[in-house]
Structure 1
Amino acid sequence: MSSFDGFGAQGPASGFDAWEVGVGGQPLSDAQLALQQDLSSLADGELDEGLAANVMLKLESDEEASAFFEDLTRCAKMHRDMADPDRLMARMAMMTGASHLCTDLENRLATIFYQLGKAYLLAALDPDRVVERAFEEPVAVEQTRVKGRGFVDGVLLGSDRETLDGSESSRQDGVDWQTARAMLNGRLERIEEPLKKASRLLEQAIAVAPDHEEARFYRAYLDAQQGRKLLARERWADLFDTALQPANRGHAAIQIGRLHQAEGNHREALRWYRWILISGLFEQDERFWVVRFNIAMTYLEMGDRDRCLDYFKGLIDSQPQHVAEMAHMATQAPLLQEVLEQYPDFANNLITRCPELFTSPAA
């Protein structure tokens, strides 16, 4: 008697109910239970090619086996959907075809690519210390990649299964979701250099959502770090002109100011820095406290030590919660240390007016 005997002999039945007992209400045999185990493993993708081929032949010829496997697959999908709401939402959006939901899917995919790109970029530039973060902190790469793949799977599962590997259903409004899944499912790992991964991911984010402001910011940041200063300045200027989020305009303004400051264009640097103060961002978003520090250092580079003192004092008075960070930045500024040694009067005035810079544990 074959291990498959007993299936399909009881008339139409479907799903788990047909698999609880064998012919005549008798318990299933060990061989039949083994087939159930094989089908469960097939649903989980755990069978080797040979066994999988045998089971697939059985699925094509046995109605009850096929029904059981379909139930297994549905349960697995439900479990993944419950564990990952993003995946479920993505699948529902693709099934309903709602345009506003599809646009949201594209933005979320772009954000996944941006988050991964930023994480690779900052880790590659300085993996051993805390770096300045213009937006939220970098994400955990592997966790985000896995969640992103689940999200894309949800989109693909909501598409027309018959045309999925073809195209129209896997390419919605110009977004190739199959390619997106490949990026999150191994193709990225074949790119060895973190900066190249960052570049590829940021470009993908912008290709999916050209107006993604954070991705545009970090693409320009990558340009600047790789020596393409003119291109970086142009891209930040474009972001400054077109960004809808005031904070993103502010971050772009700071970076443009820093480029000018590094090139010795002090007055142009001050113009960009002062925009942060005039716009109100300094008061509205405490992440922009650093702009007063930049202004103080710019005046110091210009030889205007009195204004430098004024800005240091104003910064401490307005943002006392950041004194430790200010003190750390002061110790990392070679020019400030040099001026303190060369001009004792300036050093005494700074100690008198801004003692916090010297008494903070970070000093």
Structure 2
Amino acid sequence: MSSFDGFGAQGPASGFDAWEVGVGGQPLSDAQLALQQDLSSLADGELDEGLAANVMLKLESDEEASAFFQDLTRCAKMHRDMADPDRLMARMAMMTGASHLCTDLENRLATIFYQLGKAYLLSALDPDRVVERAFEEPVAVEQTRVKGRGFVDGVLLGSDRETANGQESSSQEGVDWQTARAMLNGRLERIEEPLKKASRLLEQAIAVAPDHEEARFYRAYLDAQEGRKLLARERWADLFDTALQPANRGHAAIQIGRLHQAEGNHREALRWYRWILISGLFEQDERFWVVRFNIAMTYLEMGDRERCLDYFKGLIDSQPQHVAEMAHMATQAPLLQEVLEQYPDFANNLITRCPELFASPAA
């Protein structure tokens, strides 16, 4: 006889129905309520190892307790699905086994890794050095990690359902979803340095989806920040040659131009910057306003102060909404400050032709 004789209602009822009242319709006893509490805590993963082992032994010896626990688990899954639709859609996609849906799941996982990697990368840099925010703003790390873990859980639950139904699990092909879950569920926290976290996440994103353009961009950006300039240039050049999104080609072109500019290869830098103007990206996407500033500074480095003034004026006329940002960048450019001090005529001409720069709060 089970040690739980007398727990739950009489008859064939099981699950929640069997645990609403005791035998003969009497209220549940303190012992019964305590067992319900233990089962609920077990379902939530809140019991310590010793108590969990005791409750598991009870589950094996009492069918009604087992049914109640299974209902708890199902309700918990339903609650998580309702709170996180991505998790539900991921599980449905894995259960249907449609190849295009599985490819979409892989791309979404790669995007989660990319978003986290980018956030860690930018958090480790001096904000004044990062003058351009390519693509969207960085995500909130913890919120994205939790949502990503729920998404991966949905994929794994769908995979488990396939296996239980005797189907070959499509999650076993290509992406290692168990490793992905471990990465989002604590393994990442064992990596202390943000840049190392960023590197690991961006590499994971590219391993899942080798053509993920944004992840490839930021992997090269990380290379440049850590001094691997030649590798960064090669990776940005590859992105420029293969990217399907024109904006991604544009961001790669700007970064290659900056590398050449920093090395004193001014003609080569101008060639990359001018591609942004010739391609039409400057007019189509205002994020590329900075290319005119880069061209102006390149001419200043070459000693052509008149053409520098022309590009500053052209930028203000075409993108007046970015004057404050332009003024801030000007204050962060040591060469410009040096030239203004050494050449009073240039300073006067800049004030005359571009007074907006000096009227901006950032000036």
* C-alpha separation in 1, matches of 2:34 and 2:7: 13
**TM-score when normalising by structure 1:** 0.95
Counterpart of 2:234? 234
Structure 1 residue 277, shift from structure 2 partner: 0.5
- CA gap of 1:88–1:320, structure 2 versus 1, over 3 A, is same
Gaps of 5+ in 2: none
Structure 1 residue 2, shift from structure 2 partner: 8.4
Of stretches 55-64 and 155-164 in structure 1, the one that deviates more from structure 2 is: 155-164
Structure 1 residue 142, shift from structure 2 partner: 1.2
8 A Cα contact 1:3 1:32, kept in partner: no
* C-alpha separation in 2, matches of 1:331 and 1:296: 14
Counterpart of 2:287? 287
- CA gap of 1:3–1:130, structure 2 versus 1, over 3 A, is farther
* C-alpha separation in 1, matches of 2:210 and 2:82: 32
Of stretches 8-17 and 256-265 in structure 1, the one that deviates more from structure 2 is: 8-17
* C-alpha separation in 2, matches of 1:4 and 1:127: 63
Structure 1 residue 56, shift from structure 2 partner: 1.1
Counterpart of 2:318? 318
Gaps of 5+ in 1: none
Structure 1 residue 4, shift from structure 2 partner: 1.7
2:197 matches 1:197: yes
Q: Deviations over 1:167-218 (max 9, x none)?
A: 9748443100000011111111111111111111000000000000000000
Of stretches 334-343 and 225-234 in structure 1, the one that deviates more from structure 2 is: 334-343
- CA gap of 1:129–1:298, structure 2 versus 1, over 3 A, is closer
- CA gap of 1:222–1:160, structure 2 versus 1, over 3 A, is same
8 A Cα contact 1:8 1:62, kept in partner: no
- CA gap of 1:66–1:127, structure 2 versus 1, over 3 A, is farther
The RMSD of aligned alpha carbons is 2.3
Q: Deviations over 1:341-363 (max 9, x none)?
A: 12121111111110111111100
8 A Cα contact 1:170 1:177, kept in partner: no
- CA gap of 1:40–1:58, structure 2 versus 1, over 3 A, is same
- CA gap of 1:223–1:41, structure 2 versus 1, over 3 A, is same
Of stretches 128-137 and 51-60 in structure 1, the one that deviates more from structure 2 is: 128-137
Of stretches 179-188 and 51-60 in structure 1, the one that deviates more from structure 2 is: 51-60
8 A Cα contact 1:113 1:204, kept in partner: yes
8 A Cα contact 1:214 1:248, kept in partner: yes
Of stretches 299-308 and 207-216 in structure 1, the one that deviates more from structure 2 is: 299-308
2:265 matches 1:244: no
8 A Cα contact 1:206 1:212, kept in partner: yes
**TM-score when normalising by structure 2:** 0.95
* 3-state SS of 1:175 partner: coil
8 A Cα contact 1:164 1:170, kept in partner: no
- CA gap of 1:205–1:301, structure 2 versus 1, over 3 A, is same
Of stretches 348-357 and 43-52 in structure 1, the one that deviates more from structure 2 is: 43-52
Identity of aligned residues (%): 97
8 A Cα contact 1:240 1:252, kept in partner: yes
2:91 matches 1:94: no
8 A Cα contact 2:270 2:295, kept in partner: yes
Structure 1 residue 13, shift from structure 2 partner: 1.9
8 A Cα contact 2:261 2:269, kept in partner: yes
* C-alpha separation in 1, matches of 2:355 and 2:278: 28
8 A Cα contact 1:266 1:302, kept in partner: yes
* C-alpha separation in 2, matches of 1:312 and 1:209: 40
8 A Cα contact 1:8 1:63, kept in partner: no
* C-alpha separation in 2, matches of 1:113 and 1:165: 31
Of stretches 43-52 and 271-280 in structure 1, the one that deviates more from structure 2 is: 43-52
8 A Cα contact 2:2 2:62, kept in partner: no
8 A Cα contact 1:293 1:311, kept in partner: yes
Of stretches 214-223 and 52-61 in structure 1, the one that deviates more from structure 2 is: 52-61
* C-alpha separation in 2, matches of 1:131 and 1:54: 58
